[in-house]
Amino acid sequence: MANNNKANESVKEKVMYRLRKWLSAAMLAAPLLGLAPMAFGQEEAVVAEAAAEVVEEAAAEEGVSAEMFTVNNTWMMVSTFLVFIMHLGFASVESGLTRAKNTVNILFKNTSIVAIGLLTYALCGFNLMYPGDFSLGTWFGFAGWGVATDAEGLTSAYNVGYTYWTDFLFQGMFAATAATIVSGAVAERVKLHSFLIFTAIYVGFLYPWLGSWKWGGGWLNEMGFYDFAGSTLVHSVGGWGALAGAILVGPRLGKYVNGSVKAIMGHNMPLVTIGVFLLWLGWFGFNGGSVLSADPGLVSFTLVTTSLAAAAGIMGAMALSWIIQKKPDLSMVLNGCLAGLVGITAGADSISVLNSVIVGFIAGVLVVASVLTLDRMKIDDPVGAISVHLVCGIWGTLAVGLFSMNPDHSFKVQLIGVVAYGIAAFTFAFALFLILKLTIGIRVDAEEELRGLDIGEHGMEAYSGFQIFSNQ
């Protein structure tokens, strides 16, 4: 009992200290912002008193020590940093697998996506994904504009694993990923302003709305649908958008000629390799952070299944591509790694170690088969985003129904979730791209595409003095 009281006092002191710091900062900033004077001393006392009461109640009800709460929240923040690094990985993979003349454009898109994703998630996305109460059955809910918290949001009363602000930032990093997936599939020929408009709407509205169906406690969650870290909610939602975009924007010039498929090689495979390893590293936060605490057993188990699935994905892609192409293909192997990671994401906490290898290996095989199939269908995806994120996202979600150690997980329910997300995401993305195509256009003209989007859209080169612009 004495230890508990000591812990409670420690939490109170920390919360009051932080509140005093923020209020002091506000006092300093007020004159600069032209704000009217306020009785900050009185405000501080009121807020601090409220925080102390909240802490006491949280400690009593949740039974979490100040130390454990700090450890949990720290791990969640570290996971947030790792997911953030994934955006550098996506930028590296996408730019490396495309031609040098489009590098600036790709890096610009990937930078803008993070900014748009965070801002729209703060404006409305977070409260769409986690509405609290649904206003239209269990299909739609909205908790209001903007993000804000009170003293309770800074304590274990909000969640024993993290504060409100940690929750927002961690989830916000996920949001931008869906649009990043789309970026790769339409690379080298999409108009920049059209893509940014698509990103703002897709990430700001569709992703969080669909996310609420499961993670926000909506109808699929009530049905028993399971997606631990987002094989469907993040990756296939982005993948469906990528498929819609690739269909409507059309293939790159020179990709399909006289019924044959012409390989258009990326310009920097070392950069692609660096990007894949950055993504693998980031996935430790993507999946490990989705435990939503620093639980030592579950976090470490999740990291093992994640890593083994990635390794097995490499081997699966290596085996099939070597058999079909008679030579080992580095791009296929690297996408095999990502395929394994996407595949295990839905069930990283509930699929056994042995079965995670099976899931990853099959994902690696599927990504190779999908890339070749899409080429036969004349759907041009320069980086293999559709194959990695959509196809393997679907596989990973269904794999939960096949391999999960939790008897409550049903293949039928997983299939219903996959179909529901597919219909909603593809229909919305196709309609949005079509509206943009019919109004402001979504594809650059042939001359700009041949010269490169770096010059056409940005008036600069990625490798000044070293580039030779062509359609090769």
Tell me the per-residue pLDDT of 217-234, one tens digit each, with 9 for 90 and over. 999 999 999 999 999 999
CA-wise closest residue to 84 among 111, 121, 119? 111
Q: Is 78 exposed, middle or buried (0-12, 13-18, 19+ CB in 10 A)?
A: middle
Helix (H) / strand (E) element for 256: namely strand 256-257
Least confidently predicted of 1-10, 60-69, 170-179, 270-279: 1-10
Identify any residues that bridge with 12 across adjacent strands, giving them in sequence order: none
Residue 129 confidence class, pLDDT cut points 50, 70, 90 = very high
Q: What is the pLDDT of residue 151?
A: 76
Q: What's the sign of the alpha-carbon dihedral 303, 304, 310, 313?
A: negative
In this structure, are residues 83 and 258 in contact, taking their beta carbons and an 8 Å threshold?
no
CA distances from 98 to 181, 260, 310 (A): 14, 20, 23
Give residue 66's pLDDT.
86
Contacts (Cβ under 8 Å, ≥6 apart) of 32: none
Closest residue by Cα to residue 135 from 35, 212, 199:
212
Looking at residue 12, its pLDDT comes to: 40
User: What pLDDT score does 399 carry?
Assistant: 98
Whether 52 contacts 12, CB under 8 Å = yes
The pair of three-digit structure tokens given for residue 401, joined into one six-digit string? 């129904």
Q: pLDDT (tens digit, 9 = 90+) per residue, 380-436?
A: 999 999 999 999 999 999 999 999 999 999 999 999 999 999 999 999 999 999 999
Triad 297, 299, 305: Cα angle to 5°: 100
How sure is the predictor about 14, in pLDDT bands with cuts at 50, 70 and 90? very low
Q: Are 433 and 245 in contact (CB under 8 A)?
A: yes
Q: Which residues contact 142 (CB under 8 A, 6 or more apart)?
A: 124, 127, 128, 131, 135
Q: Between vectors from CA 28 to CA 27 and to CA 30, what angle results, nearest 5°?
A: 65
Q: Tell me the per-residue pLDDT of 56-91, one tens digit each, with 9 for 90 and over.
A: 454 445 567 888 999 999 999 999 999 999 999 999
CA proximity to 192, closest of 399, 383, 455: 455
What mean pLDDT do residues 31-58 have? 41
Lowest mean pLDDT among 62-66, 91-95, 128-132, 240-244: 62-66
- Read off the DSSP letter of residue 160: T
- SS3 of residue 3 by DSSP: helix
What token pair was written down for 344? 């295990």
Q: How confident is the model at residue 469 (pLDDT cuts 50, 70, 90)?
A: low
Q: What is the mean pLDDT of residues 294-319?
A: 97
Helix segments in 97-203, DSSP class H: 103-120, 126-129, 164-185, 192-201
Strands 256-257 and 260-261: antiparallel
Please say if the pLDDT value at position 42 is more than 90.
no
CA separation for the pair 356, 301 (Å, rounded): 11
Question: What pLDDT is stored for residue 28 in this prediction?
Answer: 35
Give the pLDDT mean for 350-362: 98
